[in-house]
Structure 1
Amino acid sequence: MVERLDATFHALADPTRRGMLASLALGEKSIGELAQPYAMSFAGASKHVQVLERAGLVTRRKAGRAQLCRLEAGPLAEAEQWLRQWEQFWNLRLDALEALLRDHKETER
């Protein structure tokens, strides 16, 4: 799971790939359609799609001459679960710090 999580965060680190995922959340798109908002070549868009594929975030299929991409949300759910664990960790720590500061202020009075 760690390698897949690393691949997911690597893929999400690029704003173009995040935009492509947002576009795919609305439905299947060709690589050309994914490239269009970024004024990039098919080859450039294809490289971004390959990174998304390696992370398991996208699947690609051929439909005639077009290569259609579809969002696969499973890795995003795994990343969210990992982030929620850290959110709980930090919330506990910050709550303890807040209580400590509150107690300190009350003893100063």
Structure 2
Amino acid sequence: MDRKFKIDVEGTEEEKELIRTLTTLFSTRAGSQPADREFGIDWSCMDELPEVAESLFALEAYRKVERYEPRVEIKDIKFENTQGVLLPCIYFVRKENV
């Protein structure tokens, strides 16, 4: 599978499960799940200029992670820009008391 993103989860015993659920969230196109049209990520922002795309993607990522995977929070999002292709690298940490 050619991924459009990288995921890293720090400091958790549930790392494999969290990576699986986060990968599912970020691999699913928003609007494609009949039972929950909000589930997934709207990747259309990545067609914008890099600075705009980074901001829009970060907003989308923070909102969706808070809603669909409350056990973690985004620690950082870094973007690799290789030959005009923007690759988000998303770093998560486990939330306390969840």
Point out the structure with max Rg over C-alpha. Answer: 1
Specify if TM > 0.5.
no
TM-score by length of 2: 0.32
TM-score by length of 1: 0.29
Higher relative contact order by CA 8 Å / sep ≥ 6: 1 or 2?
Answer: 2
Q: Which has the higher strand share?
A: 2
